[in-house]
Structure 1
């Protein structure tokens, strides 16, 4: 589907921004990450983006494991996006869109295909920037990795054991972590991922990037040892 261009003269017509918030009972009880907190963060970001909040979409009390069909406000948001009513969607965190990588990736891809940018306050994701596009590419790779791991577990005959004890195979790339709900963004590693990405764009070879990280005393995430070109590639 051809992308719908964003409004070109932003000095005349400001960005039309939607805010999407979601909280399940468990989220609010465990993290205190209620609707009001999310709204405050998203409205502050809308001011930074110099846009007008034209709609708030609130899926209160609904789990992020539910699809669009079972989230009425998300469904309304997607209808408004398809109708060309919005330029940007702001969320407090990526897990407000969903609780697994594939749900998040599917929603982001569908929004960006319509020419709508996505901004996440927590992860500093902005799909209108090169770094944001890079993170989106990583999500696509992770979704494929997750699918490949499922196939491998089935082929190896380990799917029954995986269902029994929650085992999940395969390495997770830097910047992400795995929990009971699948592969999710690891906020603690986000700064390091952005640093590597910026170094890569210098341009620099993988060896150059490894040397810089070693000189700066940055430990590798998994072993805490020195960086090598192969470590950066992974």
Structure 2
């Protein structure tokens, strides 16, 4: 009896491909069903991703489901999956790295890939070789599509047209043109008015909007940064700015460039040119750095956690009465500082008290033999990890690296003997070099991990004790920045007791990085006499 071959199909289109003939989901699905009928294949199901780019497989929900089904096929279908069937290789991926990883995953689960258009079958050695070449071509096609798309967007920007993306105050119509959303536009106009005419700062505006119940475009509370984004966006004055950041998905703000497009847009502005001019003037004036009049240091910024909302606490200072240039130092809730009273309270903690208390606790800890023994015990537990499987895996990767390097030499010989063209050699070498780089990185990581595990066996209580003793000496001689780094290397977080006054807000627990336990504060009684409670900003 002939063995039944079980198949699952996969179809995908990106947004710009949906209108193209042959690319539609219906057409791909029909081709898969027809192919299965003609070749007596048992089609178990078809997985579909619509409007999803071929750049990466991570965002494709149905493809991720497909991978899970392959691993648990007998539970899902009551039988194993033998093949994944696609209309064309590019439907699976145009990214070479993703393609290789996917094929490796298929191989682990004894699943092969078939493509209808290119007639690829990875169950054969010829199919495996061909798919690598096809994958390279698919990636080249992807890069070409990306470049064409960027050129199209650049041209639209030069014409003053919007390239997409939701901004507060506007929506995009069917012709990809911006239209004003009046309800949102009123918020935008108010932000500019408060900034230019009332002289309010970012924080005060954010607090006001939160107090009034207005939300951002993502239905979140307003913050200093979200107000900055409104004030800095020329779209509201009728301009289009495009290309300010190159390769945002990869580089983020590090890709900022001065070579960007800035032109008058075709859309209707929300604010006047006069308002936009005033905004720039105000920003220029406020952008000048004032003379530094305060030299206070806050060592626990980010470590202290708000007793109400759990956010990191940040530096906060208040002028002393009748003492120019002198301040009270506090730590305040970061949510309150950035977003105002609607999100949390100040929950002030005296900085002098908190820092003095924490340093005393650390000094006790580093002289505590139980802590030293606890660390040694934990390290010894780590050294009990059997490195034999890791060493075996390391040798396997090293063998793979040797095979890759051998293939590079073989391809060079083939080109010298005129058996392959220089173009094919270049493509193969690029692929092999990427594999070589990945293998070397794996070897480096594994060797480092094995070294760390083996080196920990050399540590003893005397060595740990010396390290902790040196911690306090290093801290005493360090500058402010180094002190912060030392504290952050030792402490994970510091929680604070709830209270209505600063005298009630004392240190609760110190959580250390090297031990999962929380170190209880030795005293929760009032340690520092408060001279000031809370400072409330005025909203006019």
Shorter-chain TM-score: what band? 0.5 to 0.7
In the alignment of these two chains, the number of paired residues is 150
2:34 to 21, 41, 44: 44
Aligned equivalents of 1:74 and 1:47: distance in 2? 23
Supply the distance in 2 between the matched residues of 1:23 and 1:62 (Cα, whole angstroms): 6
1:100 aligns with 2:62: no
Are the structure 2 counterparts of residues 178 and 66 from structure 1 closer, same or farther at C-alpha, using a change threshold of 3 Å? closer
RMSD in angstroms over aligned alpha carbons?
A: 3.1
Please give the alpha-carbon distance, in whole angstroms, between the structure 1 residues aligned to 2:31 and 2:67: 22
Distance in 2, matches of 1:57 and 1:180, equals 22
**How do residues 67-216 of structure 1 correspond to structure 2 at under 5 angstroms?**
67-68=57-58, 70-84=59-73, 85-136=80-131, 138=133, 178-179=140-141, 181=143
**What is residue 18 of structure 1 aligned with on the other side?**
8
Q: For the residues of structure 2 that align with 1:32 and 1:137, how far apart are their CA atoms?
A: 24
Q: TM-score scaled by structure 1?
A: 0.55
Q: Give 1:199's aligned residue.
A: none
Alpha-carbon deviation of 1:110? 1.0
For residues 165-195 of structure 1, what are the alpha-carbon distances to aligned partners after superposition, in whole Å with 9 as ceiling and x for unaligned? Answer: xxxxxxxxxx77724527xxxxxxxxxxxxx
Distance 1:80 1:177 in 2: 27
Structure 1 contact 18–54 (Cα < 8 Å) conserved: yes
Please tell me whether Structure 1 or Structure 2 has the larger radius of gyration of its CA atoms. 2
Report the CA distance between 1:31 and its aligned residue.
4.7
Instruction: Determine the C-alpha separation between the residues in 1 that align with 2:97 and 2:13.
Output: 19
Deviation of 1:75 after TM superposition, in Å, equals: 0.8
Choose between structure 1 and 2 for higher RCO, CA contacts under 8 A separated by at least 6 residues: 1
Cα deviation code 1:128-152 (max 9, x no counterpart): 2232022245478x5xxxxxxxxxx
1:47-88: CA deviation from partner (whole Å, max 9, x where unpaired): 3442211111011121112323x2111011100111144111
Contact 1:112–1:118 (8 Å) recurs in 2: no
Report if aligned partners of 1:22, 1:62 keep a CA contact under 8 Å in 2.
yes
**1:88-147 per-position Cα deviation (integer Å, ceiling 9, x unaligned):** 11001111112222222221221122111110111111112232022245478x5xxxxx
Residue aligning to 2:336? none
Alignment check: 8 A CA contact 1:105 1:139 kept: no
Segments of structure 1 that go 5 or more residues without pairing to the other structure are 1-8, 143-174, 183-205, 211-227
- TM-score where L is the length of structure 2: 0.25
CA distance in 2 between counterparts of 1:89 and 1:76 reads: 13
